[in-house]
Structure 1
Amino acid sequence: MRGRFMTEENKMGTMPIGKLMMGMAWPAMFSMMIQALYNVIDSIFVSRISEESLTAVTLVYPIQMLLISVAVGTGVGVNSLIARRLGAKRFEEADQAASHGFRIAFINWAVFAVLGLLLARKYVSAYSDSAYIVENGSIFLMITMAFSLFVFVEVNTEKVLQATGSMLLPMLCSLSGAIINIALDPFLILGACGFPRMGVVGAAIATTIGQFISMCLGLTLLFGRKHQVTVKLKGFKFDWSTVKDIYNVGFPAMLMQSIGSVMLFFINGLLAFSGTAVAVLGTYFRLQSFIFMPVFGLNQGALPIMGYNYGARNKERLMQAYKFGIAVAAIIMTLGTILFLTFPKQLLGMFDASENMLEIGVPALRTICLCFIPAAFGILTSTIFQATGHGMLSMWQALIRQLIGIVPLAWLLLKMGGLTLVWWAWPLAEILGLLYSVIFVKKLYKNEIAFLGREDEK
């Protein structure tokens, strides 16, 4: 028996959508804003060492994104499966999904730890012949990948909690680690208050310690309280059909998340002739996280709501959540566009930008930010694809928006007009993604969503 938790009606099926979504989303939005803040602060402190240090961190950033993509993609699969099973009142299967998530986290960590220790130096050397960049970038990468267990376990813990409608507890987990990371930066990177000045290596250590704190708090909150799902530590039998169900949504979500890092592999290669251009691109991705992270937090609040109501076959609430999410995301992205168009020089100035970096970076920021508003529609449409179990639609959308569109366009525009034109690849690719989203969300509604609840009416 699950006690009172199973006799109460889940709020995801009853509470007004606007109040419900903002109540569930704001902790994740706030948490991801803090995550963006510590990434930016890390880079600001690293840039105080040298532009080469910033370039070293930028070159390994795609690998960090790939690692996070695997963790988050798996977590999205776990989240979606739990939410759908709870909505359908299949509680034992929800427990199975949560329990499998933790076993998968350990497997993913082992793979990344081994690859990081074996291949870090070869990877960085492929992008730079600077001894300083290769040395510092390699050490940074090895540290973060060797201790990536903290990330995999913490992300899975957050997704399990979110799937039950608990958004405040995951926020506390992320917030704790981010605050610790930010607090440690001046001491470990710059050597404040008598600490050794460790530069790029100090940034990696601060990040790892913050992730460890987040993981510990998450596990305490998950296992120290009662929730609608129970993670089994004993008497657990690994079931490949559950893993398949997780990755039906999780694998496309993982690919969707990792596409950004693959895109950066190629773009960094295209821009390898200019270390400053690489630094500008890395700076942009850290700055734009302030705009995209709140939308991704909104996405985290929307996913379990959509998944629950899809499982409960409640068409009206599913579509209300989708439309409300798009409206909020569009407002956030509009404000972000205004910020980047108006203050690009000031934004780059936070990273101690040189005159050459400003010359390249100001037009870059003003151009790329034109992709923000169409991205709002794409991100929330991706959420409804995932919530309804159609992860492949999300994957193809992300491929168009972040790889199939951007990389060929960037190569072509670079050949045609150099750095001035290359930045237009982002808004042009986002327009292609917008067209794809419109076509396939209409098909999803016509072929599937429109029929929800009709069986119950008969």
Structure 2
Amino acid sequence: MSKDNNRQDLGKDSIFKLLIKFSIPAIIGMVVNMLYNVVDRMYIGNIPNIGGLAITGVGVTMPITQIITGLGMLIGIGASASISIAFGKSKREDAEKYLGNGFLGIVIISLFVAILGNMFAKQILGLFGASKSTMPYALAYIRPLMFGTICNLVAFGLNHSIRSDGNPKTSMYTMVLGASINIILDPIFIFGLNLGIKGAAYATVISQFVALCWVLSYFTRSKKSSIKLSLASMKFDSRIMKGILTIGMAPFAMQVASSIVSVIANKSLMAYGGDLAIGAMAIVTSICSIFIMPIFGLNQGAQPIIGFNYGAKNYSRVKKTYMYSLIGSTIILVLSFVFIQVFPHLAVGMFNKDPELTDITISGMRIFLLSMPIIGIQMTASNYYQAVGKSTKAMIIGLTRQVIFLIPCFIILPKFFGLTGVWAAGPIADTLAVIVSLIAIIIEMRSLKTPDKLNTEGEIAIA
């Protein structure tokens, strides 16, 4: 079957089968990719004598890594969604330009991060809540990661475009390859070579470099790719770049918002619980990411299906894909919630064995993740708007929790309830954001009233 026929299948095949085909590799890839950071934290948290402070140091760097991830999303998701929509409109040449300009954008951004990030690393970490005790660990971890930003962003950003090109398994292999190398190198560098927290960062950068080589090979040499990365495609095009940034702005804004939230949370945690409370939040977010990553994978699998059919004006398939992704997300989140509430010691024990840190983490986690069963509504709604190119709505949906609700909760609630108030901010903000997302997506689905275009044989036509 030709590559063009593979993309045509997005408009004809069973939605359920397509979602399985695209989502399962994405879910596996995202879960494995999540291990980049989670495995680092597992090993770092268990470094003899300094594990508690070291993982707190990593927790302080989270706002920085969130911004870097956001930059990858700005270009990566923006380019991949644009490619899917271009394929739906049968504009292959535009799809190739989106790929080339996306790569160009990533290279430029990576250089700025590597240079400026390292120049002002200490000042930035101080602003984000590093104390005298945790600053050495935070610096040791973040500096190598900043130098390796180009490896991270190319591997992460362009990997989205592999999925939009109709090859979800290849996209999965990218993340499995990088994460597997990271898992192997972590204990060697941290304990075997006695590099400590620096070793974790070195292992991550090396694994990301290998993933970068894999992605570039796909778009330059592989016969599977229908669009190629070339000097011609990298020629700057303001129209193309504007399209990428417009769609990518929503996930980028949400990541920046997450970074701001992390800074505010760290300051509240320090004020009401000290260094160990920041470490506890780092563990909670790591555990949460283990269960949230499958939802990101499911959303990534749904994105090219939604984007292609929206571009082709096959709106009934758009609605069905969204509903399947919402149902799947909710099932995963409900099961995750039950596990966290019933077996919290198993989850926390992977990251640290310190009794005091464990107690703080478990009590906080049970409160902070109370709204987990319903957050799929917000996540799938935001993904839908990204997939169809409605970046402003996607950004608003994302920011309802991260800015409009969560930041005020982090500032106000601790004044009345102390550390418990910091943890309670999560479920309260989530619930309010879900209400807004539900109203928005219901209105959106009702607005898709244009009849599907039919060909003479009664099948949905591909524009």
TM-score between both structures, scaled by the size of structure 2: 0.93
1:211 aligns with 2:208: yes
Counterpart in the other structure of 2:222? 225
**Between Structure 1 and Structure 2, how many residues are aligned?**
449
CA shift, 1:265, in A, is 1.2
Could you list the per-position Cα deviations for residues 344-378 of structure 1 after superposition, in whole angstroms to 9, with x for gaps in the alignment?
Answer: 12222222242322332212111122221221111
Counterpart in the other structure of 1:143? 144
Could you list the per-position Cα deviations for residues 288-307 of structure 1 after superposition, in whole angstroms to 9, with x for gaps in the alignment?
Answer: 11110010011110111100
Contact 1:385 1:391 in 2 (8 A): yes
Counterpart in the other structure of 1:317? 317
Counterpart in the other structure of 1:5? 3
Unaligned stretches of 5+ residues in structure 1:
none
Q: 1 CA distance for matches of 2:292 and 2:3?
A: 34
Counterpart in the other structure of 1:34? 32
Contact 1:256 1:394 in 2 (8 A): no
CA shift, 1:125, in A, is 3.0
CA shift, 1:442, in A, is 2.6
Counterpart in the other structure of 2:328? 328
Could you list the per-position Cα deviations for residues 159-192 of structure 1 after superposition, in whole angstroms to 9, with x for gaps in the alignment?
Answer: 21111221110111111110111101111112x2
Matches within 5 A, 1:165-176: 165-176=166-177
Moved more, 148-157 or 314-323: 148-157
Counterpart in the other structure of 1:263? 261
Q: 1 CA distance for matches of 2:429 and 2:303?
A: 25
CA shift, 1:444, in A, is 2.2
CA shift, 1:64, in A, is 0.8
Q: 2 CA distance for matches of 1:198 and 1:4?
A: 49
CA shift, 1:39, in A, is 2.1
Counterpart in the other structure of 2:245? 247
CA shift, 1:52, in A, is 1.0
Q: 2 CA distance for matches of 1:388 and 1:7?
A: 22
Q: 2 CA distance for matches of 1:165 and 1:428?
A: 39
Q: 2 CA distance for matches of 1:20 and 1:8?
A: 11
Contact 1:157 1:222 in 2 (8 A): no
Contact 1:28 1:301 in 2 (8 A): yes
Counterpart in the other structure of 2:74? 73
AA partner of residue 9 (structure 2): K
Please give the secondary structure, in 2, of the residue aligned with 1:370.
coil
CA shift, 1:402, in A, is 2.0
CA shift, 1:237, in A, is 2.9
Counterpart in the other structure of 2:452? 453
Label 1:151 to 1:282 Cα distance change in 2 as closer, same or farther (>3 A): same
Label 1:4 to 1:41 Cα distance change in 2 as closer, same or farther (>3 A): closer
Please give the secondary structure, in 2, of the residue aligned with 1:389.
coil
Label 1:283 to 1:446 Cα distance change in 2 as closer, same or farther (>3 A): same
Counterpart in the other structure of 2:83? 82
Contact 2:45 2:54 in 1 (8 A): yes
Label 1:246 to 1:217 Cα distance change in 2 as closer, same or farther (>3 A): same
Label 1:432 to 1:8 Cα distance change in 2 as closer, same or farther (>3 A): closer
Moved more, 95-104 or 346-355: 346-355
AA partner of residue 356 (structure 1): E
Q: 1 CA distance for matches of 2:283 and 2:2?
A: 49
RMSD after superposition: 1.9
Matches within 5 A, 1:118-129: 118-126=119-127, 127-129=129-131
CA shift, 1:454, in A, is 6.5
Counterpart in the other structure of 1:430? 430
AA partner of residue 35 (structure 1): N
Contact 1:162 1:170 in 2 (8 A): yes
Counterpart in the other structure of 1:155? 156
Counterpart in the other structure of 2:361? 361
Contact 1:360 1:419 in 2 (8 A): no
Q: 2 CA distance for matches of 1:281 and 1:296?
A: 21
Q: 1 CA distance for matches of 2:355 and 2:141?
A: 28
AA partner of residue 244 (structure 2): I
Moved more, 22-31 or 340-349: 340-349
Contact 1:121 1:135 in 2 (8 A): no
Moved more, 323-332 or 435-444: 435-444
Contact 1:12 1:165 in 2 (8 A): no
Contact 2:314 2:453 in 1 (8 A): no
Contact 1:29 1:296 in 2 (8 A): yes
Label 1:239 to 1:316 Cα distance change in 2 as closer, same or farther (>3 A): same
Contact 2:319 2:445 in 1 (8 A): no
Label 1:9 to 1:165 Cα distance change in 2 as closer, same or farther (>3 A): closer
Could you list the per-position Cα deviations for residues 357-412 of structure 1 after superposition, in whole angstroms to 9, with x for gaps in the alignment?
Answer: 23322121111222212211111111111122111111111111123211211222
CA shift, 1:224, in A, is 1.9
Q: 2 CA distance for matches of 1:318 and 1:164?
A: 19
Label 1:15 to 1:202 Cα distance change in 2 as closer, same or farther (>3 A): same
Please give the secondary structure, in 2, of the residue aligned with 1:232.
coil
Label 1:308 to 1:9 Cα distance change in 2 as closer, same or farther (>3 A): closer
Q: 2 CA distance for matches of 1:236 and 1:414?
A: 50
Counterpart in the other structure of 2:393? 393
Please give the secondary structure, in 2, of the residue aligned with 1:426.
helix
Q: 1 CA distance for matches of 2:408 and 2:6?
A: 52
Unaligned stretches of 5+ residues in structure 2:
none
Label 1:324 to 1:434 Cα distance change in 2 as closer, same or farther (>3 A): same
Label 1:123 to 1:156 Cα distance change in 2 as closer, same or farther (>3 A): closer
AA partner of residue 450 (structure 2): F
CA shift, 1:153, in A, is 1.1
Q: 1 CA distance for matches of 2:18 and 2:132?
A: 52
Q: 2 CA distance for matches of 1:276 and 1:353?
A: 13
Counterpart in the other structure of 1:272? 270
CA shift, 1:6, in A, is 3.7
Label 1:278 to 1:14 Cα distance change in 2 as closer, same or farther (>3 A): same
